[in-house]
Amino acid sequence: MACWRRMTGFGVLVVLLALSLPPAAVSAGQAVALDDGQKERLNIFLSNFSEVMLQPFARGTIGDAQLIRFGIIHTWANNPRLITRVGGVEYMPAAAVSEAAENYFGLTIGRHQSSADGGDYAFDYRDGFYSRSPSFFPPFAGKRFAAIIHFTQITGLVDEGDGCYSAFGDIYMKEPQSVDFHSIYRPLASWDKRMLAEIRKVGQVQATIRQMAGDDGTVRYILLDYGLSTNRG
């Protein structure tokens, strides 16, 4: 039977990850105890979505346009080596975008297409490649670390039964000047005062993830729903 989480005023979403969960058997509806290593892996996982500022959506409603936007920004941020530049135009293979959608959402993009929003993240699609001139993301001006960083810290995990877990987290914003990209995923309890002074909480996330068995024997998760709330003031 499919797992359905209790709604608490959040929106909804879907994702995929390799983790070493579950830590210990618990009854449905009970909180799951996480060690620092598990928290860090969940932080990395959830940060894949906060870093691209993915918008909340209900289960089953995410469309190709949102999957493509996620895939492009995620690939640019995490696999820039896949991008080629020819005559002032950047090209990204659509296969990389499809892989991101499958890995993090467990979904297949139905039709690759150009962006229709005409905004900062507009891009063209043709013959198996996405392209943009002069850079995929003007706010970054082609400099990978020139933007504010958004990342997530897990605050709780609840066993919902049927292999599903409700995940809760806080979203933080950090200027990139002195950032150590490995350090920001460690649990906040291990941060020093200098690092803590450089971040600001900007919101919260609630999502449901489903446990799946990976092909290599590892545990994988797909995100079934995702909701956001924003800090005010």
Per-residue confidence (pLDDT) for residue 179, from 0 to 100: 56
User: CA separation (Å) from 127 to 91, 93, 114, 124, 130?
Assistant: 11, 9, 11, 10, 9
> Residue 210: pLDDT above 70?
yes
Evaluate if residue 7 carries a pLDDT over 50.
no
Pairing of strands 164-174, 89-93: unpaired
pLDDT at 108 over 90: yes
Clarify whether residues 133 and 156 are in a common domain: no
- Same domain as 154, residue 125: no
CA distances to 60, 105, 133 from 1, rounded to whole Å, are 16, 20, 47
Residue 10: inside a domain:
no
Quick one: pLDDT at residue 162? 87
The reply to whether 92 and 120 lie within a common domain is yes
- Taking the C-alpha atoms of residue 196 and residue 122, their distance in angstroms, rounded to an integer, is 34
Give me the domain span that covers residue 110.
64-140
The radius of gyration computed from the CA coordinates of the chain, to the nearest angstrom, equals 18
Residue 162 and residue 185 share a domain: yes
The whole-number pLDDT of residue 33 equals 94
Same domain? For 224 and 151 the reply is yes
174 within a domain of the structure (yes/no): yes
Q: Exposed (0-12), middle (13-18) or buried (19+): which is 197, by Cβ within 10 Å?
A: exposed
Does a structural domain hold residue 6? no
Angstrom CA distances, 146 to 110, 136, 142, 165, 200, stand at 33, 14, 8, 35, 18
Q: Which helix (H) or strand (E) holds 119?
A: none
> Which is it for strands 149-161 and 124-126: parallel, antiparallel or unpaired?
unpaired
Q: What is the pLDDT of residue 117?
A: 66
How many domains does the chain divide into? 2
Task: Say yes or no: 185 and 135 in one domain.
Answer: no
**Domain shared by 151 and 226, yes or no:** yes
7 inside domain: no
Residue of 145, 196, 141, 139 whose CA lies nearest to 172? 196
State which amino acid sits at residue 77: A
Band of residue 223 on the pLDDT scale cut at 50, 70, 90: confident
Question: What pLDDT is recorded for position 27?
Answer: 61
Same domain, residue pair 133 and 152 = no
Q: Are residues 207 and 175 in the same domain?
A: yes
- Cα(40)–Cα(195) distance, integer angstroms: 16
Q: How many residues does the chain have?
A: 233
In a domain, 78, yes or no: yes
At which of 122, 140, 158 does a domain end? 140
Domain assignment of residue 59, yes or no: no
Domain end among 76, 108, 140: 140
Asked if 121 and 68 sit in the same domain, the reply is yes
Same domain for 158 and 182, yes or no, is yes
Are the C-beta atoms of 207 and 167 separated by less than 8 Å? yes
pLDDT at 18: 44
Confidence of residue 2 (pLDDT cuts 50, 70, 90): low
Q: Which of 102, 119, 140 is the last residue of a domain?
A: 140
pLDDT at res. 89: 87
199 or 213, greater pLDDT = 199
pLDDT at 92: 93
* pLDDT at position 137: 56
Least confident of 3-7, 94-98, 198-202, 203-207: 3-7
**Residue 200 forms part of a structural domain:** yes
| One domain, residues 134 and 158 | no
Note whether residue 183 is domain-resident. yes
Give pLDDT, residue 11.
33
- Span 70-101, pLDDT tens digits: 899 889 888 888 989 888 888 999 999 999 99
pLDDT in tens, 119-177: 666 789 999 999 987 666 544 434 444 456 889 999 999 999 988 889 999 999 987 65
